[in-house]
Amino acid sequence: MSKTSSGKTLTEAVAVFDDFGSLEAAIDELQSSGFNRAELSLLANQDVVEEKLGHLYDKVSELEDDPEAPRTAYIPAETIGDAEGAVLGVFIYVAGGVVAAVAAGSGGTLAGVIAATAMAGGAGGLIGSVFAKFVGDHHSRRIQEQLDHGGLLLWVRTHDELHEKKAVGILKRYSGRDVHLHALA
């Protein structure tokens, strides 16, 4: 068991959510109530769980109190959207910039450089959108895998009795199931 310097056992609150919206709403309130994002963790994707534990799991409820269950940091949906936008933007910028440099360097007219840059930017955008879709699809598959196994598992590290009560109350308020505390190993 982990203990604080005062000898108190460290705990965390656990909950399972049936949809991503409720999970995100609970996390938003946890953060606005003083919980740091580093104190929140989710179950890692199915491949990582299987690799670390050496077996598949039928239900996430089997892993709620398992100290060996691999975890991952919470990544807000806005950050996933930012990543998709960045991937798309990089492909547009790089393709357009390279073609503009080549066209201008080869003595092309200004109209020709603009046209080539626009076409290359469009092609880069198309390629970038494929990669951006991959980022979003990966996130969606991970969520769906866990929902197929009974829900989205969230752990919230607590520091004291006040944090324990606050975390449990928030998790229940946002429809968390099987909300409880357990001691950290």
Residues 35 and 6: beta-carbon distance below 8 Å: no
Residue 49 in any domain: the answer is yes
Residue 4 in any domain: the answer is no
In terms of domains, do 15 and 63 share one?
yes
**How many domains in the chain?**
2
In terms of domains, do 85 and 133 share one?
yes
Q: Report the CATH number at residue 70.
A: 3.30.70
SS3 for 75?
coil
CA distances from 89 to 94, 95, 101, 109, 137 (A): 8, 10, 18, 26, 18
Is the pLDDT higher at 110 or at 83? Answer: 110
In terms of domains, do 52 and 40 share one?
yes
Residue 3 in any domain: the answer is no
Tens digits of residue pLDDT in 146-175: 888 889 999 999 989 999 999 999 999 999
How far is 103 from 44, CA to CA, in rounded Å? 47
Residue 16 in any domain: the answer is yes
With a cut of 50, say whether residue 1 has pLDDT above it. Answer: no
Residue 28 in any domain: the answer is yes
With a cut of 80, say whether residue 61 has pLDDT above it. Answer: yes
Nearest alpha-carbon partner for 151 in 29, 47, 13, 23: 23
Q: Which residue has the tokens 């060996």?
A: 68
In terms of domains, do 73 and 85 share one?
no
* DSSP symbols for 76-137: -HHHHHHHHHHHHHHHHHHHHHHHHHHHHHTT--HHHHHHHHHHHHHHHHHHHHHHHHHHHH
Residues 49 and 1: beta-carbon distance below 8 Å: no
pTM value surpassing 0.85: no
Angle ∠(70,75,33) on CA atoms, nearest 5: 100
In terms of domains, do 29 and 69 share one?
yes
Domain that holds residue 176: 11-77+146-183
Give the confidence band of 127 by pLDDT, cuts at 50, 70, 90.
low
Out of 39-53, 114-128, 159-173, the most confident range is 159-173
Residue 133 in any domain: the answer is yes
What value does the mean pLDDT take over residues 90-110? 54
Is the pLDDT higher at 121 or at 148? Answer: 148
Give the confidence band of 80 by pLDDT, cuts at 50, 70, 90.
very low
Residue 5 in any domain: the answer is no
